[in-house]
Structure 1
Amino acid sequence: MSQSSENNKRIAKNTLLLYFRMLLMMVVSLYTSRVVLNTLGVTDYGIYNVVGGVVAMFSIISGSLSAAISRFLTFELGRGDKEKLKRVFSSAVTIQFLLAGIIIVLAEAAGVWFLNVKMNIPADRMVAANWVFQFSIFTFAVNLVSVPYNATIIAHEKMSAFAYISILEAVGKLAIAFLIMVSPIDKLIFYAVLMCVVALAVRLTYGTYCKRHFEECTYHFIFDRELLKRMFGFAGWNFIGAASAVLRDQGGNVVINLFCGPAVNAARGIAYQVNGAIQGFVSNFMTALNPQITKSYASGDRDYMMTLIYQGARLSFYMLLLLSLPVIINTHYILVLWLKIVPEHTVLFIQLVLIFAMSESISNPLVTAMLATGNIRNYQIVVGGLQIMNLPISYVLLRLGMFPEIVMVVAIVISQCCLAARLYMLRGMIGLSARKYLRHVYFNVLTVTVLSAAVPFFVSKNINEGFFNFVLLCLLSVACTAVVIYYVGCNRNERQFIVSKAKALKHKITNR
């Protein structure tokens, strides 16, 4: 059996394992969101989201180094250099500990001032907000130190570890949802404390697993000047991309708070809960695919890398479309079923966030390919510079009195501009054909989307809300999307592959 076939099997197996993980996390996340929202109330739920967002803004610093760590670990695995792999891991742990200390100092200095002076939080909840901020900082630092361990698991493609450890995380978050209902202290503060405890437990579990299964995960203090120079050089330019993404997401959340208050932050927080549950399925696929793209580049197999980029972009979009279309069509009814309290603006926020996620999904393999090259300076200046424009444009539009959802409209438009810039830049970096990408990916997914949505949207406008009609629309959306993907979205080889797998599954079931 060819190496490509083995790699494809590994991607499929890892994707299925990650889907199991995501299904569990999705069920827990959606249920706990309902319980937490009802227990805390709209204002406190919004406060937790926006205060946590302020802390997450410090990931501007950490995000670039996290990407560097993941890239260098996967690259050295692709080259098969075990000694270099050990040096990369130990250097990464040292960097993350130092970085955690720096971020704690910055957050305590700048973050506390911003929280108490600038943010739009009711005076009677300011003490609770400060406690949430402190525990959010510690939780962030714990997750930061976990990065080298998580990156090692992904680089080794041991996705079963994520599935099993997620059971611990899911049980912990489910327990939190019930514990805050009987909290003897302020429920918002207690929620922040428990989220911190779960993060610490998950961090210790990842660390224990890695030390037992990967020899490079035994930490030794190493000061490799050349390696650190390369990692910081990579991270320095990737800082622009990391900063732009954080400013777009968390900065947008803060801007909404300044002009609209915590109730709208709650609506946006719910939208991102739904998006996280759905987009997690695509993220799992990309988590399984990314190491293969990086390893293909490291080993010089450019043809296979291009195949992975085109197929990965289309499949990411198709999976997201299958799950998002029923939600976009039935958003209001789903919220009524799911939540007892539906904050204003939630419906449109959810619909726009899902459209944004689909827009970004076809770029994910391009970003992985860019990071694999290590030559990211010009790319980050151009694409990162475009993404940073999200924040000032959103600020100006909200100041002019536009509706809160305009923040997501801006993000969608800029996402398309970034895609065009990526295609232009990657032509010189890896020889990517923009024309081929547009033909095989962009126009393909656009056609599939229009054809898939036409019938369900027409039907939805001509029937009333109700459980039976909700089920009907969901089934119709999934059926239309699946049929269009098969006949329009897949090429002949992919259709043959689907048929052969379906026959094999049928044979296995009937012969039991």
Structure 2
Amino acid sequence: MSDTSANNKRIAKNTFLLYIRMLFLMLINLYTSRVILQILGVEDYGIYNAVGGIVLILSFLNSALSNGSSRFITYELGKKNTSELNNVFCTILNAHIILAIIVVIIAESIGLWFIKTKLGLPDDRFDAALFAFHFSVLTSVASITQVPYTATIIAHEKMQIYAYASIIEVVLKLLILYLLPVLGQDRLQTYAILLFCIQIMIMSIYRIYCIRKFNETKFKFIFNKKKFKEVAAFSSWSLLGNAAHALTGQGTNILLQMFFGPQLVAARAISLQINMAANQFVSNFKLAADPQIVKYYAAGDTDKSKELTLNTAKFSFFLMLLLCIPIYIVAEPLLKLWLVSVPPYTLIFLQLIVIQSLFSVLDTCFYTGLYACGRVKENALISPLILSLQFPAIYIAFKVGCSPIFLSYAGIFVTIILALIIKPLLLIKLAGYTYRDMKDIFVPCIKTAITAFIPSLLIAHYLSGNYWQYALLLILVIIIIILSILYIGIEKRQRQELFKLIKRKLLHK
């Protein structure tokens, strides 16, 4: 069996394991979100997302360093440089411990000042919000110090433990639903404590597994300055990007809290929850392919690295299309069935964010091509600048009285610029891609999206009213999307290979 065939089978196996995880996680997360909203109430749910957003903004340093951590651990594995792995791991872990201390200091000083003076929390929930904030900081510390272990698991492509730990995590979150009504008088405070406990449990599972399975994760007081400078230099180019993402993501929640109150924060958080479930569906495929993209490049096989990057972008878009159009079409009955009582603006927030996700998936997939070859400097200078313009624009728009929906339109506009212009040009200029490569991605993706979306909207115009009609609508829309992908999105050769594979599997059974 060739190395390429073996690698493809490994990607398929890991993708399958991650999809099993995803389906389980998605169902439980959607259910728990609905019940948590009912137990906490819209106000407390919005408050938790607002104060937690401040901690997440401060964790942008962790996101930047985690990108470098994952890349360097995977790169050393690709080079089969086992002697350096332990030095790299220990250096990265020590760096994350230092980072966690920095986050605590900033959060408990500047972050605390902002909550007390600027956030505009209800007076009767102020003490509970501060309590939740402190535990959000502790939860963030556990997440930050966990990054090197998670990066090692992904680099080794041991997705089964990643899947199992995630399933355990959502089961524990499910238990919260039964503990909240009986533990403590203030449910917001109890919720913050229980989430922290879950994070500690999951962190322990990952660490025990890594220490037992991977020799390089045996902790030593090693801080290789040279290696740290390499990781920091690489990560520094992600720093601005992660800061911009944190500002436009969690920062907009804070602006919603300041200008419109916790109910709008809750509405956006709910829409993001559904969108996150859809994104997990696609990111599983990308997560399984990314290590191979880096390893191909590290081994000097740039053609295979480029081919896998392009295929990942194309099929990730199709997978997202298969979810985004149905969610957009049946968003209203979906929310009513899921939440019963739907907060204002939740519907339009959800519909617009799934549109943004279609372009966002191309943006993130193209970044992997730059990430694999280490050419992230230019992207780190351009993309964050464009992203960060959202925050002042949204602030000014809210200040002059614009609708909260403005933030969604701003997000779609910026994502289109990044996905269809900035990232493709950077790949062409820096990573050896061609305009033909980009055309081969964009043309079938755009044709497929238009062919699937317009008929779906027309059918939705006539089929709506009761849940039976919506169920029929959903089935028809999915069929339209699948046919569009098969006969417009993918090449004839790929379609024939797919049909042969399906036929072979059916006959085998």
TM-score by length of 2: 0.98
1:249, 1:124 → 2: CA distance? Answer: 27
Residue in structure 2 matched with residue 446 of structure 1 by the alignment: 446
Instruction: Please name the residue that 2:59 is paired with.
Output: 59
The match for 2:494 is: 494
1:215/1:400 Cα in 2 relative to 1: closer, same or farther (>3 Å)? same
Over the aligned positions, Cα root-mean-square deviation in angstroms equals 1.1
Paired residues for 1:52-451 under 5 Å:
52-419=52-419, 420-437=421-438, 439-451=439-451
The amino acid across from 2:29 in the alignment is S
SS in structure 2 opposite 1:407? helix
- Give, in angstroms, the shift of residue 183 of structure 1: 3.0
In 2, are the aligned partners of 1:38 and 1:340 still within 8 Å (CA)? no
Instruction: Show the 5 A alignment for 1:43-58.
Output: 43-58=43-58
CA contact (8 A) 2:306 2:369 kept: no
> SS of the counterpart of 2:401?
coil
Cα distance per residue 1:366-391 (max 9 Å; x no partner): 11121222232222101121111121
Q: Find the aligned partners of 1:436 and 1:167 in 2 and give their Cα distance.
A: 38
In 1, Cα distance between equivalents of 2:209 and 2:500: 37
Q: Secondary structure at the match of 1:318?
A: helix
Equivalent residue, structure 1, for 2:26: 26
CA distance in 1, matches of 2:465, 2:295: 49
Amino acid at match of 2:221: F
Distance 1:90 1:166 in 2: 25
Q: State which drifts further: 227-236 or 176-185.
A: 176-185
Letter matched to residue 427 of structure 2: L
CA distances 1:442-499 after superposition (whole Å, capped 9, x unpaired): 2211111111122221111123321111111111111100011001111123212211
By how many angstroms is 1:353 displaced?
Answer: 1.1
Separation of aligned partners in 1, 2:157 and 2:184: 43
**What per-residue deviation string (whole Å, max 9, x for no partner) do you get for residues 165-198 of structure 1?**
1221011000012211223320111011101110
| 8 Å contact from structure 2 (residues 464, 470) kept in 1 | no
Distance 1:155 1:24 in 2: 23
The 1-side partners of 2:366 and 2:56 are apart by: 25
Q: Tell me how far 1:206 sits from its aligned partner.
A: 0.4
In the alignment, the residues of structure 1 paired with residue 51 and residue 212 of structure 2 have an alpha-carbon distance, to the nearest angstrom, of 36
Given that 2:248 and 2:391 are in contact with CA atoms closer than 8 Å, whether structure 1 keeps it comes out as yes
User: What is the identity, as a one-letter code, of the residue corresponding to 2:14?
Assistant: N
Query: Shift of the alpha carbon at 1:2?
Result: 2.2
Shift of 1:225: 1.6
Identity %: 36
Q: Deviations over 1:4-38 (max 9, x none)?
A: 22111111111110001111110110000110001
SS in 2 for 1:312: helix
CA distance in 2, matches of 1:197, 1:324: 34
Structure 2 alignment gaps of length 5 or more: none
- 8 Å Cα contact 2:131/2:189 also seen in 1: yes
Shift of 1:265: 0.2
- 1:398-435 per-residue CA deviation (whole Å, 9 max, x = no partner) reads 22222112112111111121121111122222111134
**Is the CA contact 2:363–2:415 (under 8 Å) kept in the aligned structure 1?**
no
Runs of 4+ off more than 6 Å: none
Q: Structure 1 unaligned runs (5+)?
A: none
The alpha-carbon deviation at position 147 of structure 1 amounts to 0.3
